[in-house]
Amino acid sequence: MSDLRIQQPTGDAALASWRHVHNVIIPTHPLSLDDVRERARRNRLEIAYLGDEVVGCSTVRPPTDDTQTATVIARVLAAHRRQGFGDELYARGLSRARSLGARVIETVVLSSNDAGLRFALRHGFVETERYLLPGDTIPWIDLRLA
């Protein structure tokens, strides 16, 4: 993994790369570039490159004051899975969430993303809720780090 580079996306080209990974893995909720710009203002986004190729992205939603709960999401494109990239993105996200004061860590996975659900369960998350957002047909799964 010596060529793996993870950084905050700055500028529209990097934000578009983050958006691409998100939209491939979450096809039921495609984001526009404006949506990603807005998320970048309130969350910590990172993008992972292997050389110059985009392999994944992550999101850390900072902890809320009342619950001290942060959400950490790592996404890796299918062609790059099972190489440790998700582990690296997740470890960085977890560290960031804890540095922001999180005492509880959650994640969310689209139920059709079997690989993402297996990853979360392997990393100690347990399912807390399944739900449909308005207009959706595929449930989301909320998980909490045990």
| Assigned domain for 77 exists | yes
- How many domains are there within the chain? 1
pTM of the model: 0.91
Give per-residue pLDDT as tens, 28-74: 889 999 999 999 999 999 999 999 899 999 999 999 878 899 999 99
Domain containing residue 30: CATH number: 3.40.630.30
| Assigned domain for 25 exists | yes
Give per-residue pLDDT as tens, 67-122: 899 999 999 999 999 999 999 999 999 999 999 999 999 999 999 999 999 999 99
DSSP secondary structure, the chain, as one string: -TTEEEE---HHHHHHHHHHHHHHH-TTSPPPHHHHHHHHHHSEEEEEEETTEEEEEEEEEPPPTTT-EEEEEEEE-GGGTTSSHHHHHHHHHHHHHHHTT-SEEEEEEETT-HHHHHHHHHTTEEEEEEE--TT-SS-EEEEEE-
Domain extent for 18:
4-104
